[in-house]
Amino acid sequence: MNADLFAGCWPDVDADLPPAALTEIAGRAEAADRAGRPPLASLDLLRELNWPGLPVPEKFHGGGAGLLRCCALQRALGAADPGLAVAVNMHLFSVGLMVEHWRRRTDTSWLLMEAIATQNRLLASAFAEPNLGGSTSRSTLVVDPVEGGWRGSGRKRPCSLAGEADLVCLQVQTTGDPSEVLVALLPTTAPGLRVIEDWDTLGMRGSASNTLLLEDCFIPKELVFYRAPAGREDDDVFAAGVIWFALTSTACYLGAAQAALREAGTLLHRLRIAHLGSSRAELPSYQATLGDPVADLLVLEAAAADVARRMDAGADPEQLVGAALGVKQQAVRVVPAAVAALAEACGGASYSRGLALERLWRDAQAIRFHPPTPVATRQFLARRALGVPASLDLDEKGASSAAS
């Protein structure tokens, strides 16, 4: 497979993630998958490369990477180790959200970003939780107001790198009417935080997406950097956060697809059809089966890069969120189908645990489960297109009820 097909979509990121570092990271991916634990040496290497502070503005001693560059970084990392890429993407998204918040509110949240950049602090992102149906503007983890902040108990699952990160970006919901959603940054050593190691999955096994348990945990008000009415989505910071997550997570899986292309290309050139005297890569029948998946990946790469460029150029996030969600929704269809087509073309060899293609096929399935979920996104995009009230909260009552 000719990787140069995709070269024009993304900026070069060799200065931030040198090829030698990516090779080192890739060399640990299989062991992390088999153990179901994160590659700690790879996390240490990312810290040495000052990766945690890359999205932080340069004036706060960060790398000043915009969304496009961050997507390119995640794509490169996803091609080396998809599980690690998905795990640290939660850091990238959280810091991106902080940057977008600061740009629009210009408050003291820059102090948190500066600490992340200068101290190479790694974040876990505690947004996902059971029974939300993929909602991104609510939480079932409810906290009560107390002197100096809020206090509450509950669980966040899955929470990538909950046991390995220095800080946790935590989303909770307050009691009372009206109820608010709060996003705070807590040290993972804070009293009342505990990790339950229960991550045992089909793919993305090295992401360490364990359960974060809050037990009478205190959240100081000075560590809350974002608050908004629960369920409210007409907010530029919320929209920017959705865009960052949709595009950076898609980039991780595009990297996994690129790794699958590379592995399949090597196999297809090596595997021969004996009675034809040719490798599979040389045969038109095999070439024909891969043309459409490659075309789909090319379109997805170009679309993701274009939306990221528009975001960096200052487009209104609330106008761009539909396009970003459309990219993510296409990725749910395109990436697993492309990796499956590559595996099928390689035949039974791709089913072997001894080859990376089997692991990449398993990793590709996880794209279906990131919020906003495909079910919620379909409903949102369809309602937007039809001109009826739309929300990323699932609504089974119908548009007429939503409008009333």
Q: Per-residue confidence at 8, pLDDT binned at 50, 70, 90?
A: confident
pLDDT confidence band for 401 (50 / 70 / 90): very low
Q: How far apart are CA 131 and CA 402, in angstroms?
A: 21
Task: Say how many residues make up the chain.
Answer: 404
Average pLDDT, the chain: 93
Amino acid letter at 88? V
Give the least confident one: 117-126, 128-137, 150-159.
Answer: 128-137
What whole-number distance in Å separates Cα of residue 295 and Cα of residue 299? 6
Predicted confidence (pLDDT) per residue in 265-288, tens digit: 999 999 999 999 999 999 999 999
Q: Are 126 and 141 in contact (CB under 8 A)?
A: no
**According to the model, what pLDDT value does residue 398 have?**
62
- Local structure of 160: helix, strand or coil: strand
Quick one: pLDDT at residue 323? 98
Cα-based angle 299, 302, 303 (whole degrees, multiple of 5): 85
Amino acid 357: pLDDT? 96
Lowest mean pLDDT across 56-70, 121-135, 143-157, 322-336: 121-135
Q: Is the pLDDT of residue 1 over 60?
A: no
Least confident window among 107-111, 209-213, 302-306, 374-378: 107-111
- Residue type for position 286: Y
Distance CA 42, CA 17 (A): 12
Kindly tell me if the per-residue pLDDT of 48 is higher than 90: yes
**Which of 67, 54, 39 is closest to 314 using CA atoms?**
67
Question: How far, in Å, CA of 104 to CA of 53, rounded?
Answer: 20
Strands 167-174 and 123-126, sheet pairing: parallel
- Quote the CA–CA distance of 38 and 381 in Å, as a whole number: 35
Residue 150 pLDDT exceeds 60: yes
pLDDT for the residue numbered 367: 97
**Looking at residues 129-134, what average pLDDT do you find?**
78
Average pLDDT over residues 381-390: 93
Q: Which domains does the chain have, with CATH numbers?
A: 3-122 (1.10.540.10), 125-229 (2.40.110.10), 236-393 (1.20.140.10)
Beta carbons of 21 and 80 less than 8 angstroms apart: no
